[in-house]
Amino acid sequence: MGTVTMAQALNAGLRDSLTEDDRVLVFGEDVGRLGGVFRITDGLRDEFGEQRCFDTPLAESGLVGFAVGLAMGGFRPVVELQFDAFAYPAFEQIASHVAKMRNRTRGRVPLPMVIRVPYGGGIGGVEHHSDSSEAYYAHTPGLKVVTPATAEDAYWLLRDAVRDPDPVVFLEPKKLYWSKEDAGLARRGAAPTGRAVIRRPGLDATLLAYGPSVPVAIDAAVEAARDGIDVEVVDLRTLVPFDDETVTASVRRTGRCVVVQEAHGFAGVGAEIVARVQERCFHSLAAPVIRVAGFDVPYPPPKLEHAYLPGVDRVLDAIHRLQFDDQPDVRHLAREAS
CATH number at residue 14: 3.40.50.970
Question: 331 pLDDT exceeds 70?
Answer: no
Average pLDDT over residues 282-309: 94
Average pLDDT over residues 82-90: 91
For residues 210 and 167, membership in a common domain is answered with: no
Q: Which pLDDT score, from 0 to 100, does residue 156 have?
A: 97
For residues 27 and 174, membership in a common domain is answered with: yes
Domain for residue 258, yes or no? yes
For residues 141 and 218, membership in a common domain is answered with: no
Least confident among 138-142, 220-224, 300-304: 300-304
pLDDT classification of 2: cutoffs 50, 70, 90: confident
Distance CA 142, CA 82 (A): 23
For residues 79 and 6, membership in a common domain is answered with: yes
For residues 208 and 175, membership in a common domain is answered with: no
Task: Give the strand order in the sheet containing 231-235.
Answer: 197-200, 231-235, 205-209, 257-264, 290-294
Domain for residue 191, yes or no? no
16-70 pLDDT, tens digit per residue, is 999 999 999 999 999 999 999 999 999 999 999 999 999 999 999 999 999 999 9
Run of H or E including 92: helix 91-93
The number of distinct structural domains making up the chain is: 2
Q: Which of 332, 230, 226, 213 is nearest to 283 (CA)?
A: 332
Q: Which pLDDT score, from 0 to 100, does residue 335 have?
A: 61
223-239 pLDDT, tens digit per residue, is 999 999 999 999 999 99
Domain for residue 192, yes or no? no
Q: Which of 152, 147, 139 is nearest to 117 (CA)?
A: 147
Domain for residue 113, yes or no? yes
Run of H or E including 218: helix 213-226
Catalytic entry in 129, 139, 264, 320: 129
Average pLDDT over residues 209-227: 97
For residues 100 and 245, membership in a common domain is answered with: no
Distance CA 101, CA 95 (A): 10
Q: Which pLDDT score, from 0 to 100, does residue 229 have?
A: 96
For residues 281 and 225, membership in a common domain is answered with: yes
Domain for residue 328, yes or no? no
Q: Burial code of 204-221, b = ≥16 C-beta within 10 A, e = fewer? A: bbbbbbbbbbbbbbbebb
Question: 125 pLDDT exceeds 80?
Answer: yes
For residues 147 and 216, membership in a common domain is answered with: no
Distance CA 323, CA 221 (A): 17
Distance CA 96, CA 194 (A): 24
| Residue 138 near residue 240 (C-beta atoms within 8 A) | yes
| Residue 134 near residue 180 (C-beta atoms within 8 A) | no
CATH number of the CATH domain containing 251: 3.40.50.920
Active site residue 129: yes
What's the domain range around 62? 2-183
